[in-house]
Amino acid sequence: MGLEIFNGFPQQRLSDKQKGKQWRRKCVDFADSRGSTLNSSPVRKSFLHKKINYDLWNMKLHTDDIQYVLNPNKLKANFIPDNLQHYPTINPKLNVLRGEALARVFDWHVVITNPNAISEIENAKRDAVYQSLQSLIQSQSISEEDYQKRLTEQNDFFQYQYQDMREVRANELLKHYSKEYDFRELFDNQGIMDAMIVKEEIYLNDIIGGEPYVERVDPMKLRVFRSGNSNRIEDADMIVYEDYKSIGWVRDTYYDVLTAKDHAYLDKVETGGVDGDTDIWDDRNAYMTDTHLGDTMVSNPHFFSSLLNNVDYTTTMLPYDGEGNVRVLRVYWKSARKIKKIKYYDYETGEEEYKFMPQTYIADKTRGEEEEIFWVNEAWEGTKIGTEIYVNIRPRPVQYFSMSNPSRCHFGIIGQLYNIGSTNSPSLVDTLKPYAYLYDATFDKLYKLIESNLGKLTVLDLSFKPDSWTTEKWMYFAKVNHLAVKNSFNEGKKGAATGKLAGALNNNSTGVVDASVTQEIQYNIQLLDWLETTMGKACGISPQREGQISNRETVGGVERATLQSSHITEWLFAQHDSLKKRELECFLETAKIALKGRKKKFEYLTSDGSRRIMEIDGDEFAECDYGLVVDNAQGTQALAQKLETLAQAGLQNQMINFSTMMKLYSTESIAEKIRMIENSERRMQEQQEEIRQQQMQMQQQQIQAEAEQKQLEMEQRDIQNQRDNDTRILVAKIQAQANIDSSVARASGFTETPIQPLTDKERADLLQRTREFDEKNKLEHEKLQLEREKIKSQERIAKHRDATSVKKGS
């Protein structure tokens, strides 16, 4: 069938002149007539299979699909109701994985990969290291300790933080577009759901309005041809992307290539007057209905093979839908292009060198050039809008080629099939679908059992009822008054039974009839619990991972169960991250071509919240090849999960400060977080060392102040003792003089007279001595007080400095 699909496809190995307007339209019309409903990839699921899975996620059931799973033997007994209610047993499992994808770390960093640019970076880095060391050596006023410190800082900078300006610009540019297009929402919220539902995840890169553009592609709207058994969409030879778009979207996207005739056609579509035909206004999803695709399942134990292989090669998607949207058919295919490989000789070394040139290049044989012709692949694109508009039928502006292989290219459509090798493996929804259908059927049966459960029934013999009572009156007394009223002789009074039934009436009643089906109800409830548990085991999501934790479980047991469960689904995240890496690299290549020939200026926020302006020269940016280095290993994920606890412990132990802890949550780069913590630890150690030095200095000052205070006290005591001694000596002298005068008087025969008071001169002399001592004592006391105030002031300053240092450190 593969040969029949491309039967009639235009010849591709033609010269550029032969690929004219008619040839280009034939390529697009071929995809329009044969490619819009076909799926030739042996490793992709059919369109109907994907629709069933998406509808199951959206709470819609396909009856024939349920019949195939629950009635594989095709029994005629219709035990599956047509109006079966679906219960979202699959959705919580998928939401758990989606939430984990949003919480996972995807730490990427843009690096330059082309050899010439790497050599330039090495030379620039070597010059920067040399200049830094030279300036450090020439610093004469720096101490040995500061010299070693600055040397260590420079080593860390050049080893971990140094970046070429081109890499800096590429990183900031990708961060800018990641916020503009919300890559996290695009990849980890939408794309991963496609991977789990239909095991495909696809993105389209393009240039719209001179800006790089990326969008998620609905796997149901994309057709892939001649991709072999590859699980990468970009390996296909032809891709058809078909969707309905609004008239406004068409004008926004193709405003620069639409002609006046094209705008007139769109006006007719917008007003519903195309060709005057009203039958074309049909349901936009007509191509999805049973009439076009059929709803008959094929023979396969649990999963469905491609149904579309039996569909005729005719388009079923209408050019317009009933809401005024127009069909936009985008076709991508690999054509052949002739190039020349020119061999020439270097002027200086004389060595042979090669270069690739277009087919119009003429080799200069006088300079020793020799040519060799090759046919290589070239990516083409074309868009058909409605039935009359053809735009952008041309080689792709971005070829996404390889420097080592000029023939290797793709269309900028990056996609991943979540399978192994050439197997058409099931998606996560495919794995859980049989259990979900059985759950719905069991729940429906349980509901009907509950509805038919009558419990215990009382047998009412109407002969017991009083003759004048109605049945409703008897039921009233039974329910309200709990009385079963009866008249045993009511029937015994009649006819031949008169007097004969009275003794046998008690034997006519069977009492209570048990109409309860509680055992069946309990059995179905247990079956529902078993199905939920089995679904968790089938997809690898344990109850602990969903938050269903028993009060008897230990913390270690819950962590172990969650860890083991994460190992089962790690393959999904590994392939998802690999696709994200390829997509971001492709987006960078698209940005190179989009920005070439102009400058891009944008504002961005750094990790600390500051605003900066970045200007990128498009020509300089396009000169390099870029790649992504991604760190998403298991250890990185574990570190990211425990970072909050570790940061809290570091804050309590004063190893990091509060500002650093806040910055840790403002960046997603693990490497940047490690650098932040290292710098914070270094600053905290320096502050602690400074505080320790200040404390030692304070202790020394306090010891010195205490010694000075003791010295002053000793001097004060000496002065006091000296004053007391002088006073005693003066008093002793006065007393001795008085005694001498008394003795002389007695020896001379004078009568004893009282001791005369001190003369004015003696009194003045004593007062002067006392005053001088008081002044000296006062001065010494004031000096001592000043020294004490000085010591206390130094202590207050030191305590304030310590408090300020501790506050800054926290």
What whole-number distance in Å separates Cα of residue 400 and Cα of residue 390?
A: 24
Nearest to 593 by CA among 337, 333, 332, 211: 211
Mean pLDDT of 502-507: 49
Q: Flag whether pLDDT at 291 surpasses 50.
A: no
Nearest to 97 by CA among 197, 183, 181: 197
Q: Average pLDDT of the chain?
A: 75
Mean pLDDT of 322-327: 85
Q: Flag whether pLDDT at 188 surpasses 50.
A: yes
The better pLDDT of the pair 798, 568 is held by: 568
CB proximity list for 682: less than 8 A, separation 6 or greater: none
pLDDT tier at 126, thresholds 50, 70, 90: low
Q: Flag whether pLDDT at 653 surpasses 80.
A: no
Give the pLDDT of residue 505: 47
The domain limits of the chain are 2-80+200-421, 454-516, 678-809
Q: What percent of the chain has pLDDT over 70?
A: 65
Is the CB of residue 620 less than 8 Å from the CB of residue 597?
no
pLDDT tier at 284, thresholds 50, 70, 90: very low
Nearest to 701 by CA among 635, 775, 555, 799: 799
CA neighbours within 13 Å on the CB side: how many for 355? 9
What's 750's DSSP letter?
A: P
Task: For 35-89, write each residue's pLDDT tens digit.
Answer: 554 556 778 888 888 999 999 999 888 888 888 777 777 776 556 677 788 898 9
The better pLDDT of the pair 362, 277 is held by: 362
What whole-number distance in Å separates Cα of residue 619 and Cα of residue 597?
A: 6
E strand or H helix at 337, and its extent? strand 326-345
Is the CB of residue 400 less than 8 Å from the CB of residue 207?
no
Q: Flag whether pLDDT at 275 surpasses 60.
A: no
Mean pLDDT of 640-660: 67
What whole-number distance in Å separates Cα of residue 636 and Cα of residue 503?
A: 89
For 275, the token pair is 């060709």
pLDDT tier at 292, thresholds 50, 70, 90: very low
Q: Which residues of 32-62 are buried (b: 16+ CB within 10 A; e: fewer)?
A: bebbbbbbbbebbbbbbbbbbbbebbeeebb
Give the pLDDT of residue 407: 84
Mean pLDDT of 138-156: 65
3 state SS of 681 = helix
Nearest to 240 by CA among 321, 306, 317: 317
pLDDT tier at 218, thresholds 50, 70, 90: very high
- Among the residue ranges 47-51, 121-125, 564-568, the one predicted with the least confidence is 121-125
Give the pLDDT of residue 473: 83
For 533, the token pair is 């548990």
Mean pLDDT of 706-719: 79
Give the pLDDT of residue 490: 58
212: phi then psi, degrees, rounded to nearest 5 = -65, 145
Q: Flag whether pLDDT at 533 surpasses 60.
A: yes
Q: Flag whether pLDDT at 611 surpasses 70.
A: no
Give the pLDDT of residue 335: 92
Region for residue 654 given its phi and psi (left: phi exceeds 0; alpha: psi -120 to 50; beta: otherwise): left
Q: Flag whether pLDDT at 556 surpasses 90.
A: no
Q: Could you give the dihedral angle defined by the CA atoms of residues 438, 442, 445 and 446, in that order, rounded to the nearest 10 degrees?
A: -170
Nearest to 294 by CA among 313, 303, 307, 312: 307
Nearest to 670 by CA among 712, 637, 711: 637
User: How far, rounded to the nearest angstrom, does the alpha carbon of residue 546 sit from its chain's CA centroid?
Assistant: 19
Give the pLDDT of residue 497: 52
Mean pLDDT of 414-435: 88
Q: Is the pTM of this model over 0.75?
A: no
